[in-house]
A and B are shown apart, each in its own frame.
Chain A
Amino acid sequence: MSKQPNIDTSPPVSDEIRKTTCYMCACRCGINVHMKGGKVAYIEGSRDHPINKGVLCAKGSAGIMQVNAPSRLRSPMKRVGPRGSGEFEEISWDEALSLATSRLGKIRKEAPEKLAFFTGRDQSQSFTSLWAQSFGTPNYAAHGGFCSVNMAAAGIYTMGGAFWEFGQPDWEHTKLLMLFGVAEDHDSNPIKMGLGKLKQRGAKVIGVNPVRSGYNAIADEWVGITPGADGLFITSLIHELLRAGKIDLDYLARYTNAPALLNSDPNDAEFGLFLRDDDGKMLVIDRKSGKPTAFDKKGVQPDLRGTLRRAGVTHEAAFHSVAETYLAPEFAPEAVAERCGIEPQTIRRIAAELARVAFDEAISLPIEWTDFRGETHSEMIGRPVSFHAMRGISAHANGFQTCRALHILQILLGSVEVPGGFRFKPPYPKPVEAHPTPHCQSNPMAPLDGPHLGFVRGPEHLALKPDGSAARIDKAFTWENPMSSHGLMHMVISNAHAGDPYKIDTLFLYMANMAWNSSMNTKSVIDMLTDRDDNGEYVIPNIIYSDAYSSEMVAYADLILPDTTYLERHDCISLLDRPICEADAAADAIRWPVIEPDRDVRGFQSVLCDLGARLGLPNFTNPDGSAKYKDYADYIVNHERKPGIGPLSAFRGDGTETGRGSVNSEQLDRYIENGGFAVTHIPDSARYYKPWNMEYQEWAVGMGLFDTPQPYLFSIYSEPMRKFQLAAEGHGERQPPDHLRKQVHDAMRPLPVWEEATDDEGGEYPLHALTQRPMAMYHSWGSQNAWLRQIHGRNPLYVPTKVWEAHGFQDGDWARVTSRSGEIVVPVAHQAALNSNTVWTWNAIGKRKGAWALDDNAPEATKGFLLNHLIDELLPPKGDGLRYSNSDPVTGQAAWFDLRVKIEKCAAPDEPQPAFSSLRSPVGKGPKDLAWKVGS
């Protein structure tokens, strides 16, 4: 073919590759940023990186549109019009920091609790919490309370770790994976990579989700459960397995508290607590001696059947309660089928399949290991059944107990921390006892008495003032939600507006779009942010906000501290925080400025270093009063949490030390040379059975994860929960107020038993309503991204066939959707692969006019909508004059997915209702057309 042109098939790709960490979502993949002429030309996944091993999702590849987005804020700003008008004046950093310092300095001097500092999806919580602790306010948390605290807390209280950042399925060995309530989210690329591996090996995937999209679309079996019933389904599986004796008795006896002796005398003040020896250790009956023995004594063989009568009190192994609870006929498949929307024979079959794979297809790795009782095992037995779950089961008022039930199912099958099962990632496993308890003692000009967030062991750790009222603005760690380990960010604005439990002065937010998609009841929240008192002053007097983009929240703040994009900043993804470890390795990573900002913006963490020094905060000031850290990079390298332990674990000391070691001023350079991350592998014989494997425990001490080995037992039975029940029954010094006794007692059952998440029986509002994020936008705070918005630019309400036909809907129709607290009018679309009592939409596609540098006619504003308007942050009044949050009564997790609605066809309005006025954009509008090529 002579006409065929000669083309250059080997053009230069880039001048240079800079390796850093993605931040298009919370997955934190390694990326190669290809540079041409100092500009970002192309972004691809980094092959060496432990998280993504070269692959990259749609968001990651669209990063170039994020870094150049027209919605980027350009300069510090102070509000000059009324709140919500979007009228700002650009000011210098000096002026911005002076304004913040004088206001915050006064608060710190008089009443530090009047500062509420909450961060959104940021990943520098060990840093931001240190700042808040140094300031002295008890009012600090990140976004976990409205995200997935149920999943995290239930995992830690039950087995010392949870899914996602805490652990992962054993992708190499598992033969059956069950996904519960995983939308298209946590964690992004590793799950897709793992599913790909399972498909390659022919392993089976069962997806349990009302919506068959994403991962559920490729699952070999889809169980289209009715929302809120996952706990009931799981408990029925437990019932079936117990009934058939298909449980791992050896595992339960060795590694869980099932054989630990419980006080079984209902008349005793310690009823339901474990019998302990003088050292506080749980006692078990040793099968060899028949005698009560400390659970961890060398050579002890705990007996699951143990009973003991001591001082007139009967004690029985906790396993007796397990059998008694879950063999009850109320959990039989026939009894739960209707509420679950799952046929009884399906429940039976899945139980049989779990048992078959766990026990008949058990695997063994020829690796010798030694447990904490000193026994050496010649092999590692594996139960190749694994589970993963996320927000779908978490974001219900019964979510904590549902998550706990799932972990108990895993444990009964013996499939946690074994080959083929679920595996922890360092710094997990980590027992509750190794976590801090919450702290809330606040005094003027003094740091808080300890870390804000933690894990309560009993009523003594609640964050209450001497008069019994909540110490924190979000009422975390109170009788209303005792185990609220991540705080309740969704209640902060509502409580601050109501002055309940007290009034605050300054609301300081970072990366949290609370005036839009991150709040329940968005319209009311906007009203609260703009509400004025009798004197004409704002009810929430002062709002400082930091964001990189012109989000909806910007318009409601008084002072804006503009952040950088993710390619213009330093960050550390730290073992002290939310690291990027794998089950076989500890790992951490950095971001570094691969480009410099072309605007007058600063990384928020560097701004906090500056602000901390200006305020004279301990940890941010030298003895001579000068600033301790020049910027965040300086902090990352030089901060030591304990001697020898800093934010980054590798290249310490002389550059060769890992885990523990002195400060190395060249540490960041070493990370950059190494591709932006560092990995430390776990020795082969320490890779499984980590909570009980002494080689792992010693490796973890060497890495600085613990100071001493921390072997522990899984808590099938939760003694901390029982302590709250005892208080509700009238025992102990701290007891719940009478109106909460029943709630506390019902919520804090030491063995999870399913309860309906809401008292909204569904009569008037027969449908469940859910949201999820599309994969191409999951956890993405930039769905204005020019490329991604062409993939998902609108979000109809998806309606199942039964409802679609009953209402006579047709393509292009609109519907009025009503909940007990609100009404929206939105476009609808039909979806057949959907639970027949459920409607849903993509979350956070809908944008407000004027935000994100979008045109007022952008479909995100003219067709997109939020379901949030239908969800009240408070439950309906109970007639006692008190406010009850729409949250899990154990943890305070926002119960987004308890929403019930009714739907009716209606005439198409011009745009979705409620409609909002256009915000004035502080950054103008984006360009009309793009043809983005930076090279020649």
Chain B
Amino acid sequence: MTELPTSTDRKLGLVIDLDTCVGCHACVVSCKGWNTENYGAPLSDQDAYGAAPQGTFLNRVHTYEVQPPEGAAQTVHFPKSCLHCDDAPCVTVCPTGASYKRSEDGIVLVNENDCIGCGLCAWACPYGARELDQAAGVMKKCTLCVDRIYNENLPEEDRVPACVRTCPAGARHFGDFADPESNVSQLSRERGGMDLMPELGTNPVNKYLPPRPKQTEEIDILAPFLTPVAEEPKGFLKWLDKALGGD
């Protein structure tokens, strides 16, 4: 049993805009690349060129279809990684203290030296955000690129998680939720940022912006149609004469 900090100075996390995410997987692979080369053991791939390739990813995009009662079915792309919960069950369940939540910024990390690969944390996480690396035998999860966001070897503008830096549509935002004036706090307020499965009491830090309502025919019926000026070419040319001032 590992303890969570009672509070953290900052609450770093992501806002993910489901209205803008096109499901391109750029974040998935950028994350894979950075975290294979950086923090901890590389993210390995088993049977990489075989029948059942299965590798470790810290971020995956799922695609769902939603069929509203009226109108066309909708497609939603849903990127998912660790939500860095305030009440992270993955931390409290850890028997060795390897899983911990940082007191300074709230990032949930795994100390790979202490991880015994028991998998309890992955079982406790209701979001399926942790993956046991089969080659290293340690638990892997989103680090919020803790080795990028403070990294003085990177230009300041690059001190954001790899997934945020790479997102082509600009659907991912990084910032401090403890600061009500931060970009992520504002976005979340303005666009109705949502918790994922709030009923579980995990208090996730990351927020999702819901897709904006799509147009439906019901609204459209009220929209004005165009008023005809002519129904056939002769009438049209008469209108043209008038429109051009009849000179």
Instruction: Verify if A215 is at the interface (C-beta below 8 Å from B).
Output: yes
Q: Are B20 and A196 in contact (CB under 8 A)?
A: yes
CB < 8 Å neighbour of A790 from B24, B30, B55, B239: B55
Sample of 6 A–B contacts (CB below 8 Å): A47-B157, A57-B24, A212-B74, A351-B226, A929-B135, A930-B55
4 nearest CB pairs, A to B: A926-B49, A832-B73, A244-B226, A192-B168
Tell me, in angstroms, the Cα distance from A752 to B25 when the chains sit together: 39
Tell me, in angstroms, the Cα distance from A660 to B202 when the chains sit together: 64
Tell me, in angstroms, the Cα distance from A212 to B67 when the chains sit together: 12
A644 to chain B, nearest CB (A): 37
Q: Are A305 and B244 in contact (CB under 8 A)?
A: yes
CB < 8 Å neighbour of B51 from A214, A786, A862: A862
A154-162, A319-327, A431-439, A875-883: which lies at the B interface? Answer: A319-327
* Per-position 1/0 for A363-405, Cβ under 8 A of B: 0000000000000000000000000000000000000000000
Q: Are B72 and A212 in contact (CB under 8 A)?
A: yes
Q: Are B215 and A352 in contact (CB under 8 A)?
A: no
Q: Please indicate the chain B residues that have their CB under 8 angstroms from the CB of A908 in the complex.
A: none
Q: Are B226 and A352 in contact (CB under 8 A)?
A: yes
Q: Are A220 and B215 in contact (CB under 8 A)?
A: yes
* A11 and B151 contact, Cβ closer than 8 Å, known pairs A246-B226, A931-B41: yes
Instruction: Verify if A243 is at the interface (C-beta below 8 Å from B).
Output: yes
Q: Are A935 and B244 in contact (CB under 8 A)?
A: no
Q: Are B30 and A44 in contact (CB under 8 A)?
A: yes
Tell me, in angstroms, the Cα distance from A908 to B86 when the chains sit together: 48
Q: Are A245 and B229 in contact (CB under 8 A)?
A: yes
Q: Are B151 and A928 in contact (CB under 8 A)?
A: no
Instruction: Verify if B200 is at the interface (C-beta below 8 Å from A).
Output: no
Q: Please indicate the chain A residues that have their CB under 8 angstroms from the CB of B45 in the complex.
A: 786-787, 790, 929-932
Instruction: Verify if B230 is at the interface (C-beta below 8 Å from A).
Output: yes
Instruction: Verify if B217 is at the interface (C-beta below 8 Å from A).
Output: yes
A141 to chain B, nearest CB (A): 31
Instruction: Verify if A116 is at the interface (C-beta below 8 Å from B).
Output: no
A116 to chain B, nearest CB (A): 34
CB < 8 Å neighbour of A61 from B149, B166, B230: B166
Instruction: Verify if A189 is at the interface (C-beta below 8 Å from B).
Output: yes
Instruction: Verify if A348 is at the interface (C-beta below 8 Å from B).
Output: yes
Instruction: Verify if B177 is at the interface (C-beta below 8 Å from A).
Output: no
> Considering only CB atoms, which chain B residue lies closest to A195 in the complex?
B169
Instruction: Verify if B42 is at the interface (C-beta below 8 Å from A).
Output: yes
Instruction: Verify if B118 is at the interface (C-beta below 8 Å from A).
Output: no
Q: Which of B17, B47, B237 has the most CB of A within 10 A?
A: B47
Q: Please indicate the chain A residues that have their CB under 8 angstroms from the CB of B63 in the complex.
A: 213
Point out residues on A near B: beta carbons under 8 Å.
Answer: 1, 3-5, 7-13, 36, 41-45, 47, 52, 54-62, 64, 70, 184, 188-189, 192-193, 195-197, 199-200, 212-218, 220-222, 224, 240-246, 249, 287, 303-305, 319-320, 323-324, 327, 343, 345-346, 348-349, 351-353, 355, 775-776, 784, 786-791, 793, 801, 831-834, 853-855, 857-859, 862, 925-935
Q: Are A831 and B65 in contact (CB under 8 A)?
A: yes
Q: Please indicate the chain B residues that have their CB under 8 angstroms from the CB of A57 in the complex.
A: 24-26, 166, 168
Chain B stretch 1-22: residues in CB contact (< 8 A) with chain A: 3, 5, 17, 19-22
Q: Are A61 and B226 in contact (CB under 8 A)?
A: no
* Per-position 1/0 for B34-51, Cβ under 8 A of A: 101111011111111111
Instruction: Verify if B210 is at the interface (C-beta below 8 Å from A).
Output: no
Instruction: Verify if B181 is at the interface (C-beta below 8 Å from A).
Output: no
Q: Please indicate the chain A residues that have their CB under 8 angstroms from the CB of B72 in the complex.
A: 212, 222, 224, 833
Tell me, in angstroms, the Cα distance from A355 to B228 when the chains sit together: 13
Q: Are A832 and B65 in contact (CB under 8 A)?
A: yes
Instruction: Verify if B127 is at the interface (C-beta below 8 Å from A).
Output: no
Q: Are A10 and B236 in contact (CB under 8 A)?
A: no
Instruction: Verify if B54 is at the interface (C-beta below 8 Å from A).
Output: yes
Q: Are A243 and B226 in contact (CB under 8 A)?
A: yes
Q: Please indicate the chain B residues that have their CB under 8 angstroms from the CB of A58 in the complex.
A: 24-26, 28-30
> Considering only CB atoms, which chain B residue lies closest to A288 in the complex?
B247
Known: A214-B24, A855-B51. 16 other contacts (CB 8 A): A1-B102, A4-B102, A5-B100, A41-B37, A47-B157, A61-B33, A61-B166, A242-B236, A249-B240, A345-B221, A786-B45, A787-B45, A788-B29, A790-B55, A833-B72, A859-B51
Tell me, in angstroms, the Cα distance from A216 to B63 when the chains sit together: 13
Q: Please indicate the chain B residues that have their CB under 8 angstroms from the CB of A242 in the complex.
A: 236
Q: Are B37 and A42 in contact (CB under 8 A)?
A: yes
Q: Which of A61, A244, A927, A934 has the most CB of B within 10 A?
A: A61
* A1 and B103 contact, Cβ closer than 8 Å, known pairs A323-B237, A790-B54: yes
Tell me, in angstroms, the Cα distance from A222 to B52 when the chains sit together: 36
Instruction: Verify if B136 is at the interface (C-beta below 8 Å from A).
Output: yes
Chain B stretch 56-100: residues in CB contact (< 8 A) with chain A: 57, 63, 65, 67, 72-77, 97, 100
B102 to chain A, nearest CB (A): 6
Where chain B touches its partner, the secondary structure class is loop
A200 to chain B, nearest CB (A): 7
A38 to chain B, nearest CB (A): 15
> Considering only CB atoms, which chain B residue lies closest to A241 in the complex?
B226
Q: Are B33 and A42 in contact (CB under 8 A)?
A: yes
CB < 8 Å neighbour of A933 from B28, B42, B57, B247: B42
Q: Which of A70, A790, A855 has the most CB of B within 10 A?
A: A790
Q: Are B33 and A70 in contact (CB under 8 A)?
A: no
> Considering only CB atoms, which chain A residue lies closest to B135 in the complex?
A931
Q: Are B136 and A221 in contact (CB under 8 A)?
A: no
> Considering only CB atoms, which chain A residue lies closest to B226 in the complex?
A244
Q: Please indicate the chain A residues that have their CB under 8 angstroms from the CB of B220 in the complex.
A: 345-346, 349
Instruction: Verify if B199 is at the interface (C-beta below 8 Å from A).
Output: no
Q: Are A327 and B236 in contact (CB under 8 A)?
A: yes
Chain B stretch 160-200: residues in CB contact (< 8 A) with chain A: 162, 165-171
> Considering only CB atoms, which chain A residue lies closest to B214 in the complex?
A220
* A61 and B26 contact, Cβ closer than 8 Å, known pairs A244-B227, A833-B72: yes
CB < 8 Å neighbour of A243 from B19, B49, B154, B230: B230
Q: Are A305 and B237 in contact (CB under 8 A)?
A: yes
Q: Are B230 and A304 in contact (CB under 8 A)?
A: no
> Considering only CB atoms, which chain B residue lies closest to A327 in the complex?
B233
A835 to chain B, nearest CB (A): 10
Tell me, in angstroms, the Cα distance from A184 to B61 when the chains sit together: 16
A79 to chain B, nearest CB (A): 25
Q: Please indicate the chain A residues that have their CB under 8 angstroms from the CB of B54 in the complex.
A: 790
Q: Are A217 and B77 in contact (CB under 8 A)?
A: yes
Q: Please indicate the chain B residues that have their CB under 8 angstroms from the CB of A801 in the complex.
A: 73
Q: Are B147 and A11 in contact (CB under 8 A)?
A: yes
* Per-position 1/0 for B204-247, Cβ under 8 A of A: 00000001101101001101111111111100110111011001
CB < 8 Å neighbour of B42 from A220, A927, A932: A932
Instruction: Verify if B32 is at the interface (C-beta below 8 Å from A).
Output: yes
CB < 8 Å neighbour of B20 from A4, A195, A348, A854: A195
> Considering only CB atoms, which chain A residue lies closest to B154 in the complex?
A13
CB < 8 Å neighbour of A55 from B37, B166, B214, B221: B166
Q: Are B169 and A54 in contact (CB under 8 A)?
A: no
Tell me, in angstroms, the Cα distance from A790 to B43 when the chains sit together: 13
Tell me, in angstroms, the Cα distance from A931 to B168 when the chains sit together: 27
Q: Please indicate the chain A residues that have their CB under 8 angstroms from the CB of B228 in the complex.
A: 243-244
Q: Are A13 and B166 in contact (CB under 8 A)?
A: no
B53 to chain A, nearest CB (A): 5
B185 to chain A, nearest CB (A): 17
CB < 8 Å neighbour of B171 from A196, A243, A355: A196
Tell me, in angstroms, the Cα distance from A857 to B50 when the chains sit together: 7
> Considering only CB atoms, which chain A residue lies closest to B228 in the complex?
A243
Q: Please indicate the chain B residues that have their CB under 8 angstroms from the CB of A70 in the complex.
A: 49
Instruction: Verify if B146 is at the interface (C-beta below 8 Å from A).
Output: yes
Q: Are B73 and A192 in contact (CB under 8 A)?
A: no
Tell me, in angstroms, the Cα distance from A855 to B46 when the chains sit together: 13
Instruction: Verify if B111 is at the interface (C-beta below 8 Å from A).
Output: yes
B1 to chain A, nearest CB (A): 12
CB < 8 Å neighbour of A833 from B48, B65, B109: B65
Q: Are A1 and B20 in contact (CB under 8 A)?
A: no
Q: Are B237 and A927 in contact (CB under 8 A)?
A: no
Instruction: Verify if B119 is at the interface (C-beta below 8 Å from A).
Output: no
Q: Are B168 and A245 in contact (CB under 8 A)?
A: no
> Considering only CB atoms, which chain B residue lies closest to A5 in the complex?
B111
